[in-house]
Amino acid sequence: MIRNKRKLDKFYRELEAKEKLSYKAALRIYEALHKEALSLGVINSDNILDGLEVDLRIAKAINGLSRGRKANKTNSSKVRRR
């Protein structure tokens, strides 16, 4: 859980400034990681998008829950308690 967004943003800005990773170097790293994932059988061209729809539905449900909680909090202050 991120507790201090400003510190995290500052950390990423400093990290990016220090690394100075070129596009070509980043692409080589990505391709090596992709090749390793393929060799391990974690991904392949047949299953690359498997489960994406499920993940999207779960994300929508979770986001809907958090919106509902916010609405309930604001509405609950207006409801009289007996």
Q: Are residues 27 and 59 located together in one domain of the fold?
A: no
pLDDT digits (tens, 9 = 90+) for 4-60: 999 999 998 998 888 888 889 989 999 999 999 889 988 877 777 787 888 899 989
Q: Are residues 81 and 41 located together in one domain of the fold?
A: no
Taking CA atoms, 51 is separated from 30, 32, 33, 34, 41, in Å, by 22, 24, 21, 18, 16
Counted domains in the chain: 2
- Unique residue bearing structure tokens 């507790």: 3
> Has this prediction a pTM greater than 0.85?
no
Q: Are residues 39 and 56 located together in one domain of the fold?
A: no
Q: Are 38 and 44 in contact (CB under 8 A)?
A: yes
Q: Are residues 9 and 41 located together in one domain of the fold?
A: yes
Q: Are residues 39 and 17 located together in one domain of the fold?
A: yes
What is the per-residue pLDDT for 39? 92
Give dist(CA 48, CA 53) in Å, integer.
12
Q: Domain range for residue 27?
A: 1-47
